[in-house]
Amino acid sequence: MTRHSARKKIYVLSTGGTIGMQKTPEGYAPEAGYLAKSMSKIPELQNLDMPIYTVHEYEKPIDSANMTPADWFQMGDYIQKNYQEYDGFVILHGTDTMSYTASALSFMLENLGKPVILTGSQLPLFETRNDARENLINALLIAGHYSVPEVCLYFNNKLFRGNRSTKMDATSFAAFSSPNFPALGQVGTDIKIRHELILKPTGDQLHLRQIKPIMVSTLRIFPGIPHEMLKTILQLPLDALILETFGLGNAPEDPHFIKLIHQAVEKGMVLVNRSQCPYAKVKMSQYATGTVLLKAGVISAGDMTIDAAITKLFYLFSKNLSHSEIKAQMMVDLRGELTV
């Protein structure tokens, strides 16, 4: 670890979330300026072995359930504007959609060469028993002292690749998991980073890709799903539809169902096959019930999380690619989101 003779500068962007909330008669609620004030009272953060940090708090904190692609861009814009002045970035964020934001930023921040670490907590910093303090301290330490030039999510002693993470538990301190890819780091008595897993920067100049609004939806397949339900969804002006299928990417062989999918593909809609199982990789050719989808023109999401699949679609459609290029790029590993 780098000692205080060469202290790094970290930009802390506090967007909202439980970590900076106060207790009110109506329950936990955000309070502008509270987080920076609280951080200044944590002795560990003032230690000379910690990086120097600057806190920027949103004037109106955002409940992460209200996050939109415009908010993703705003976060990216803060990083881009402060990129040359700081050595790393920590984003404090509500847990509900943190993995969506981490996934989106991993695509939007092209040629990223510095750490961007999202974290938050299940209990606020003011509570006597909380997870906020450790998450905050360790996220700052990793951003300031380790070479991790990608978008990550840190929670409960584990550093995950952002676009491999997903929220698995609403009450446990171990709220996040990385189902199909190992953690990039583990914090115990030592901080251990698996440098062989870390992405290498692909360019020198950071570029922020603005996300355009698109119409994307998901449909969870279940036994006995009526094809009329699919028909109704496909009548919407969708750009893409993610089918959440069984096992390795299987769905009912209902001829009406398959016909509707084939027609949607023919009209230019991008249909993506993603397994309902968190620990799975779609292999449509394994069973006949998957092969019918493959023949109908559905593409595989591989082992991407649903968070990554959705945000990757936003990103690719924003690049003004043709539908055939989008379908091809969905099956290419761009930021470590996909095992190929």
The 10s digit of each residue's pLDDT in 74-93 is 999 999 999 999 999 999 99
4-208: CATH class:
alpha beta
CA distance 184 to 88: 17
Decide which of 60 and 126 is more confident: 60
CA distance 157 to 138: 8
Q: 216-330 architecture in CATH? A: 3-Layer(aba) Sandwich (3.40)
18 catalytic residue (yes or no): yes
Residue-level pLDDT at 1: 46
Count of other CB atoms within 10 angstroms of residue 202: 12
> What does the pLDDT average to over 127-149?
95
pLDDT over threshold 60, residue 5: no
pLDDT over threshold 80, residue 319: yes
Question: If you average pLDDT over every residue of the chain, what do you get?
Answer: 94
State the Cα torsion 276-278-279-284 to the nearest 10°.
Answer: 30
Note whether 4-208 and 216-330 share their fold: yes
pLDDT digits (tens, 9 = 90+) for 238-277: 999 999 999 999 999 999 999 999 999 999 999 999 999 9
Residue-level pLDDT at 33: 80
Spatial CB neighbours of 86, under 8 Å, sequence gap ≥ 6 = 9, 10, 11, 54, 114
Q: Which amino acid is at 162?
A: G
Per domain, the residue ranges of the chain are 4-208, 216-330
| Strand residues in the chain grouped as ranges (E) | 9-14, 21-24, 27-30, 52-57, 88-92, 109-110, 116-119, 151-155, 158-161, 166-167, 176-177, 185-187, 191-193, 207-208, 216-220, 240-245, 270-275, 299-300
Point out the catalytic residue in the list 2, 15, 18, 68: 18
**pLDDT band for position 302 (50/70/90)?**
very high
Spatial CB neighbours of 238, under 8 Å, sequence gap ≥ 6 = 215, 216, 217, 269
pLDDT digits (tens, 9 = 90+) for 148-207: 999 999 999 999 999 999 999 999 999 999 999 999 999 999 999 999 999 998 878 999
